[in-house]
Structure 1
Amino acid sequence: MFKALIPAWMAIGLTVSSVQAQTTEETINYPVDGLNIVGTLSVPAGDPAPVVLLLHGFGGTRDELEIPAVKEGIYTRAARQLAEAGYASLRIDFPGSGDSGGEFADMTYSGQIAAATAALDFLKADPRVNGSKIAVIGWSQGGLVASAIAGRTGIPVATALWAAVGEPEVTFAKLLGADKIAAGLKTGATPLELPMPWGFSLYLKQPYFEEILTTHPLEEIVAYKGPLFVAEGLNDEAIPVGTGEKFIAAHDGPEELWIRPMDHGFNSATGVETVDEMVAATIAFFKPYL
């Protein structure tokens, strides 16, 4: 771990606010492939704490889906609860999402994996956190990314996959339509319009659709031997039921499969109970390793 002086590129755009008593949040920046990646670093008071990297889903941002009952993003809430348990956290915007540089149309799994891997390097070098103890949480497509960085780097001391994409072709054929994937494979440099079920459109280029067919999260997790927490919803409209069991079956190491009657948003549209239960279960699973 580096000492005292934080490189200038770590401190660009620094802001500090109170999350709870004696916890600070800071906006951080780091470069990946010529793009500026923006994140929020939450640091509890005291000695440098173990840290959790939070990876958002398809079309999301670092604060993630707002819970209507409390007007708080799911990842914002999770970061606060992690801090209350004594853990730092970093939630990032992937390239082309939120405040990070790039265009969403250029988004690929490989680009997100590169940004997440660089986030691990950032945390290992930052004296504000204990970079020798890093865990990762990935939700939905962020779970795909989490499985890749866990398997490829071996850095996370624990990993949590929340409603993670295990078979991209199956998930995105359902979400986008098989016809859209076929069209996307021929679109070249012209972004393809993708009407979303939520009433708006996203636009993506051919490389994204190519990686739907060549990315295999279930194979990535095989290489990861660390502790694995998998949350699966029985009412998930995006991820096929049984995907969590497939991740567990592919993994060799300490593990927990946490199944509840929840949708892809962890029932957040109707309250915080399931979200809070899942975060608490994740923290309890991480505790022996962080």
Structure 2
Amino acid sequence: MTKRISLVAAIAGMVMLCTALPARAAEKIVSFTVNSQKIVGTMVLPDGVSKPPVVLMLHGFTGTRNEWASDAVKEGLFGRAAPVFAENGIASLRIDFRGSGDSDGKFEDMTVETEIEDALAALDYLSSVPEVDKDRISMMGMSLGGAVSTAVAGRSTLPLKSVVLWNPGINLPAAFTTIFGEKAMIEGSASGDQIYNAVRVFDGKPIPLKGRFFETLFSVVPAAEITKYRGPLLLAVGTEDQIVYPQPVSAKALLNYHDGPEELWAEPVDHGFGLMQDSKTVDKLIQKTLEFLQAHSN
């Protein structure tokens, strides 16, 4: 199996990105339904570009469609990336999974499989949007959204131009054991249809979940899912990530199961790509993602 892996080491300096939205891109709220429940998303279209390529953006666990925000990245990771893509001729759709943000449903009914279902429906929706090119759709996912992306890439009947994973969940049971602890994983898995308030270790916040969520952490295996996708893949990781670790070892292991063009991009930052400190690495990541999407958009 031929591999084309490039590991980009940390480099000094900051890539300057233009993030001005109002004058150069049209942003609108859109919706579609899955099992009679509404999913809400934000679509950003580049100004003056007919039938642009488009990227579907999938947020992580407990996130929303703008993704993780901080004082340094107030608009959120996806909210910051979308206008940059639009400035460079790429449309985007970022959605709230059911149970999150403005979409219908309760968070405790969410599972990895329901998020896969939502993402597949989002691809179907994009294929019907006349303003974008249905033959040039890409996908990117952050954290749990990255794990979901591996499954969607492998299961979708709609060909994807490329897939981008930002610190994706690679070994989901291990990652969520880090988040909740071993006791919660055992008790949560046995909770059936009852709500189990799993307490997040790092901040003590209770998060309502049901047994089916924990079961799907074991039944959806990103390495197995990605074997069914052979298109271009960009895997971006932080080598100081304490949720998905060790890196870049875990990332390289996932890539061993992907048979196709691929790149590995790594920086010495945490799960949020350093956004709690500043936007330096985030902007470099957005630029790298843009270049990858552009390289595989034709």
TM-score normalised by the chain length of structure 2: 0.89
Distance 1:81 1:199 in 2: 35
Q: Which residue identity does 1:230 align to in structure 2?
A: L
What corresponds to 1:185 in structure 2? Answer: 189
Distance in 2, matches of 1:185 and 1:259, equals 33
Aligned residue number for residue 88 of structure 1: 91
Task: List runs of 5+ in structure 1 lacking aligned partners.
Answer: 1-17
Which structure's residues are more often strand, by fraction? 1
TM-score by length of 1: 0.91
1:267 counterpart residue number:
274
Over residues 8-30 of structure 1, what are the superposed CA-to-partner deviations in whole Å (9 max), with x where a residue is unaligned? Answer: xxxxxxxxxx9231311110110
Q: Say whether 1:135 aligns with 2:142.
A: no
CA deviations 1:197-253 (Å, max 9, x no partner) are 234221100100111111101110011000000011110011012221112111111
Look up the match of 1:112: 115
CA contact (8 A) 1:230 1:247 kept: no
Residues of 1 paired with 2:76 and 2:203: CA distance?
A: 17
- The counterpart of 2:104, out of the listed 101, 106, 114, is 101
Amino acid at match of 1:38: V
The counterpart of 2:77, out of the listed 65, 74, 78, is 74
- Is 1:258 aligned with 2:262? no
Q: SS where residue 276 of structure 2 aligns?
A: helix
Separation (CA, whole Å) in 1 of partners of 2:199 and 2:35: 29
Match of residue 125, structure 1, among 124, 128, 133: 128
Residue 32 of structure 2: aligned partner:
30
User: What stretches of structure 1 move > 3 A for 4+ residues in a row?
Assistant: none
Q: 2:150 matched to which residue of 1?
A: 147
How far did 1:189 drift?
A: 1.8
C-alpha separation between the residues in 2 aligned to 1:156 and 1:86?
A: 18
Q: Which runs of 5 or more structure 2 residues have no equivalent in the other structure? A: 1-19
1:180 and 1:285 map into 2 onto residues whose CA distance is 39
Match of 2:9 in 1: none
Residues 58-110 of structure 1 deviation map (CA, whole Å, 9 limit, x = unaligned): 00000111131242211100101111111000000001000000000001011
Distance in 2 (alpha carbons) for counterparts of 1:176 and 1:199: 9
Whether the aligned pair in 2 keeps the contact of 1:51 and 1:135 (CA below 8 Å) is yes
Q: Secondary structure at the match of 2:21?
A: strand
Q: Structure 1 residue 123: deviation in Å?
A: 0.6
Contact 1:137 1:162 in 2 (8 A): yes
From 161, 167, 171, the counterpart of 2:165: 161
1 CA distance for matches of 2:102 and 2:250? 31
Amino acid at match of 2:262: E
CA distance in 1, matches of 2:204, 2:214: 22
Distance in 2 (CA, whole Å) between partners of 1:212 and 1:146 is: 14
Post-superposition offset of 1:129: 1.1
Aligned-residue offset at 1:186 = 1.6
- Equivalence for 1:8: none
Moved more, 32-41 or 69-78: 69-78
SS in 2 for 1:36: strand
What CA distance in whole angstroms lies between the structure 2 residues aligned with 1:199 and 1:188? 23
Larger relative contact order (C-alpha < 8 A, sep ≥ 6)? Answer: 2
User: In the aligned structure 2, how far is the partner of 1:200 from the partner of 1:183?
Assistant: 17
Answer whether contact 1:20 1:80 (CA < 8 A) is retained. no
In structure 2, distance between residues paired with 1:63 and 1:56: 8
1:4 maps to what in 2?
none
User: Which residue of 42, 64, 81 corresponds with 1:61?
Assistant: 64
**1:199, 1:173 → 2: CA distance?**
14
